[in-house]
Amino acid sequence: MEFFDVGSAKKTDIKDRYDVIIIGGGPGGITAAIYAVQAGLKPLIIEKALDGGQMNNTQAVENWSGFSSISGMDLSEKMADHARAFDVPFAYNEVVDVELEGQEKAVILDNGKKLNSRVLIISTGSNPRDLGAKGEEQFKGKGISYCATCDGHFFADKHIAVIGGGNSALDESLYLSKMVRKITVVQNLAKLTADKLLQDKLNATGKVEYIYNSVVDSVEGDSQLSAISIRNVDSGNITRLPVEGMFVFIGLIPNSGFLKGKLKLNDFGYVPTDENMETEIEGIYAVGDVREKEVRQIVTAAADGAIAIYHAARSYFDE
Amino acid sequence: MEKRLLPANIVEQVKGVFKEMEGKVTALFFKTDRRCDYCKTGEQLLKELAEINEKLSYEVHDIDSERARQFEIEVAPSIILLTADGDDKGVRFLGIPAGHEFGTLLQNIVSFSKGAKPDLSEESLKKIGAIDSPVDIKVFVTTTCPYCPKAVLMAHNIAMANKNIKAYMVEANEFEELSKKYGVSSVPQIVINDKVTFVGAYPEGQFVEQVLNAL
């Protein structure tokens, strides 16, 4: 047995109203909660899966100062424990709707409960993006996966394709390399965009080959995926690659669906804010991956959270 | 001294969670003397948990026993929880709830100590309560999957809401043949009455709809 995670069993009693409700328990949301307590406010974090959010899927975080290398799972736990030490309550639910008009904001949970707050922080993060290849829908869960830690075991000693050449793709490839026989990384550009350090580590496994300037055109199989067709973006030539699995890490989509029609989103679904992280509606802030910005990192999410609370405390609670 | 499964810091966290327990809970553990890679671990886990709080006790039974037939348990290791009144609420674990599923087991234990009242909206309770035919929900998981506990908790809460419903967490690596039979290669994969299959941790309303679709 590798580990035991108490996870959402750490839930606390939830009240009907808080000063600040934070939707999403990743680094942005947790940091906002810590700063809120320090400002004398009562925050609530609502998390739909696990403390730390997407961080849990990262094998090794090597750019959060204080730790030269720490697993995303461990960092998640440390951050959440930090918030708990400050008596921050966590609700483990999914937010299905929000009421953003008027001074008093509300969130509606998937169990039907309605909670109120003066300030709302949207830190819902992002999820892996689909490829959009022919056959993708049909083979989701039948050889196509978007989570290496979840599904890696099912591909022991198999030849798999990893789609994408960024940090996520290579971090997950490194994890998968411990169990699979061979990895073919398919990248749409002429080179990888992942950090050099990560590239070196992956190459050292001796299990990886790369196909550049290529995208997945379609996937095929019987009951399970058995091959993918790769199109060269320059020549248009299509090559068939027999694989038993395909992991997709080509970028992210923001978790902002529940805000559609209620709050201004950009063309890609990200939430625009001003420099204080405040959205077009007073008292509604967006922090971390869900926000419209350039750099999506743990440290920038955390910084967003601090900035949002700094502004909110002075704007809405300073009597 | 035998090697402990639960590290000291986790024991402390479990103590905190179990403070919430009100009544007694019995965990039935089913094992087999035939090949079973995880039976010893499962029994050890329950032993260590029962040592943390006296309100939790456990019984060990063979899968060939009368008790196993009574609860229709055919594979090991399996865990069933019973309330203080000995009520079976249809909550089952096939395989060891370790990793991220450990929290699911703890939450179920606390819930059973309070009579196993389902944590669902009134609307869902009404829909699930009206089901009058048997429902079998399997939630295939791996212990390293961050999204899986939500799906298992949802299935277990749905089982608590209706006597006709049984909900199984299935650890996909321990039960490889069962996983192959259902073509599992992404988790959580949910199979309801062998009729409806979906992948992912759906929010409550959508999960309940899938159960109704399987009737």
Q: Tens digits of per-residue pLDDT, A225-251?
A: 999 999 999 999 999 999 999 999 998
The predicted pLDDT at position A143 comes to 95
Q: Which of B144, B196, B208 to mutate to test the interface with A (most CBs of A within 10 A)?
A: B144
Instruction: Please list every residue in chain A whose beta carbon sits closer than 8 Å to the beta carbon of residue B121.
Output: 110-113
Whether residues B148 and A150 touch (CB distance < 8 A) is answered with yes
Domain end position, chosen among B113, B148, B178 = B113
Q: Encode pLDDT of B137-180 as tens digits.
A: 999 999 999 999 999 999 999 999 999 999 999 999 999 999 99
Q: Could you tell me if B165 and B183 lie in one domain?
A: yes
How far apart, in whole angstroms, are the C-alpha atoms of residue B179 and residue B147?
Answer: 18
Measure Cα distances from B117 to A108, B57, B63, B83, B156 in Å: 21, 20, 28, 10, 11
Q: Could you tell me if B101 and B136 lie in one domain?
A: no
Region for A102 from its dihedrals, namely left if φ exceeds 0, alpha if ψ lies in -120 to 50, beta otherwise = left
Residue B144 lies in a domain: yes
Residue B76 lies in a domain: yes
pLDDT at B1 over 60: no
Domain end position, chosen among B113, B137, B158 = B113
The predicted pLDDT at position A58 comes to 87
CA nearest to A127 within chain B: B147
The predicted pLDDT at position A11 comes to 76
Whether residues B147 and A49 touch (CB distance < 8 A) is answered with yes
Range of the domain at B197: 122-213
Measure Cα distances from A219 to A22, A138, A209, A230 in Å: 39, 9, 19, 9
Confidence tier at B76 by pLDDT (50, 70, 90): very high
Residues of A with a Cβ under 8 Å from any B Cβ are 1-11, 48-50, 56-57, 92, 94, 96, 110-113, 140-145, 147, 149-155, 223-224, 245
Whether residues A8 and B145 touch (CB distance < 8 A) is answered with no
Q: Could you tell me if B29 and B92 lie in one domain?
A: yes
- The encoded tokens of residue A22 equal 């934070």
DSSP state of A278: B
- Here the CATH number for the domain that contains residue B132 is 3.40.30.10
Q: Could you tell me if B14 and B81 lie in one domain?
A: yes
Residue B137 lies in a domain: yes
Domain end position, chosen among B57, B91, B113 = B113
Domains of chain A: 2-127+252-316 (3.50.50.60), 130-248 (3.50.50.60)
In whole angstroms, what separates CA B192 from the centre of its chain? Answer: 15
Residue B29 lies in a domain: yes
Q: Could you tell me if B80 and B130 lie in one domain?
A: no
Instruction: Please list every residue in chain A whose beta carbon sits closer than 8 Å to the beta carbon of residue B203.
Output: 48, 94, 96, 110
The predicted pLDDT at position A13 comes to 84
Residue B2 lies in a domain: no
Give the gyration radius of chain B's Cα atoms: 16
DSSP states along B176-199: HHHHHHTT--SSSEEEETTTEEEE
Residue B3 lies in a domain: no
Q: Could you tell me if B198 and B171 lie in one domain?
A: yes
Measure Cα distances from A78 to A67, A88, A302, B144 in Å: 12, 14, 14, 18
Q: Encode pLDDT of A116-151 as tens digits.
A: 999 999 999 998 899 999 999 999 999 999 999 999
Instruction: Write phi, then psi, for A99 (nearest 5 degrees).
Output: -120, 110
Burial of B122 from C-beta contacts in 10 A (0-12 / 13-18 / 19+)? exposed
Residue B161 lies in a domain: yes
Whether residues B10 and A151 touch (CB distance < 8 A) is answered with no
Q: Could you tell me if B161 and B207 lie in one domain?
A: yes
Q: Could you tell me if B148 and B170 lie in one domain?
A: yes
Query: Nearest CA of chain B to the CA of A247: how many Å?
Result: 11
3-state secondary structure of A131: coil
Query: Nearest CA of chain A to the CA of B190: how many Å?
Result: 11
Whether residues A6 and B106 touch (CB distance < 8 A) is answered with yes
Query: Nearest CA of chain B to the CA of A149: how many Å?
Result: 6
The residue written with tokens 């625009």 in the block is A272
- Within 10 Å of residue A125's Cβ, how many Cβ atoms? 26
Residue B188: cis peptide before it, omega within 30 degrees of 0: yes
Q: Could you tell me if B52 and B101 lie in one domain?
A: yes
Segment B201-210 shows an average pLDDT of: 93
The predicted pLDDT at position B2 comes to 65
Q: Is the dihedral of CA A77, A83, A86, A87 positive or negative?
A: negative
Q: Could you tell me if B173 and B133 lie in one domain?
A: yes
Please indicate whether residue A147 is annotated as part of the active site. yes
Whether residues A151 and B100 touch (CB distance < 8 A) is answered with no
How far apart, in whole angstroms, are the C-alpha atoms of residue B184 and residue B179?
Answer: 5
The residue written with tokens 């009520």 in the block is B87
Whether residues B199 and A6 touch (CB distance < 8 A) is answered with no
Q: Could you tell me if B155 and B137 lie in one domain?
A: yes
Q: Could you tell me if B150 and B99 lie in one domain?
A: no
Q: Which residues contact B68 (CB under 8 A, 6 or more apart)?
A: B30, B61, B62, B74
Marked catalytic residue, from A16, A97, A110, A150 = A150
Give how many domains chain B has, as a whole number: 2
Please indicate whether residue A150 is annotated as part of the active site. yes
The predicted pLDDT at position A10 comes to 82
DSSP state of A140: B
Instruction: Please list every residue in chain B whose beta carbon sits closer than 8 Å to the beta carbon of residue A152.
Output: 144
- Within 10 Å of residue A193's Cβ, how many Cβ atoms? 14
Residue B1 lies in a domain: no
Query: Nearest CA of chain A to the CA of B104: how many Å?
Result: 7
Segment B98-126 shows an average pLDDT of: 96
For chain A, list residues with pLDDT below 50.
1
Whether residues B184 and A149 touch (CB distance < 8 A) is answered with no
